[in-house]
Amino acid sequence: MIEFTPWDIVRNLLLAARWTVALSLVAFVGGALMGVLALMMRTSRVAAMRRVSWAYIELFQGTPLLMQLFLAFFGLSLLGVEVPPWLAAGAALTLWSGAFLAEIWRGCVEAIPKGQWEASASLALGYVQQMRHVVLPQALRIAIAPTVGFAVQIVKSTALTS
């Protein structure tokens, strides 16, 4: 029978924590970039961009994360594309977190009163300028709590990658 000392257990937990933190950071940073892109598309005035963003969000929110991880690793290898486990896990978690962050942040953007949008439009600001100078700074204050809550969910979801 194998005996584990307390030091063996602590050492292995610290090694696992290192990978959990690294994968969580990759998923959160990548997901944030995807989320901002999807948010801008989802709130765009161009209908085709809204539809593409909606389809992306529905796909990744509507399917289980475990299935997405399996498809990223095993599904691509069935097509002849060998994907390293780290890359598959990072890509799947990034796409998954991007879909959720986009919807969290869309709710925060839509919480900004319509008068703020109208005021920025009356200053002849374009859509990107309205978002950058008027809407997003206000939405950022609203978005802190749900974003931190979802960051915890990302850390917990890295356990599926094992």
Is residue 54 in some structural domain?
yes
Q: What is the pLDDT of residue 80?
A: 87
Is residue 74 in some structural domain?
yes
pTM above 0.85? yes
CATH of the domain at 65: 1.10.3720.10
DSSP 120-159: HHHTT--HHHHIIIIIHHHHHHHHHHHHHHHHHHHHHHGG
Q: What is the dihedral of CA 49, 51, 55, 61, to 10 degrees?
A: 90
Q: What is the pLDDT of residue 1?
A: 74
DSSP 94-125: HHHHHHHHHHHHHHHHHTS-HHHHHHHHHTT-
Could you tell me how far CA 136 lies from the centroid of its own chain? 17
Is residue 31 in some structural domain?
yes
Is residue 2 in some structural domain?
no
Is residue 150 in some structural domain?
yes
Q: Above 80 in pLDDT, residue 42? A: yes
Tell me the pLDDT tens digit for each residue of 101-142: 999 999 999 999 999 989 988 998 888 899 899 999 999 999
Domain that holds residue 138: 23-161
Is residue 37 in some structural domain?
yes
Is residue 10 in some structural domain?
no
Q: What is the pLDDT of residue 30?
A: 98
Is residue 83 in some structural domain?
yes
Domain total in the chain: 1
Q: What is the pLDDT of residue 54?
A: 97
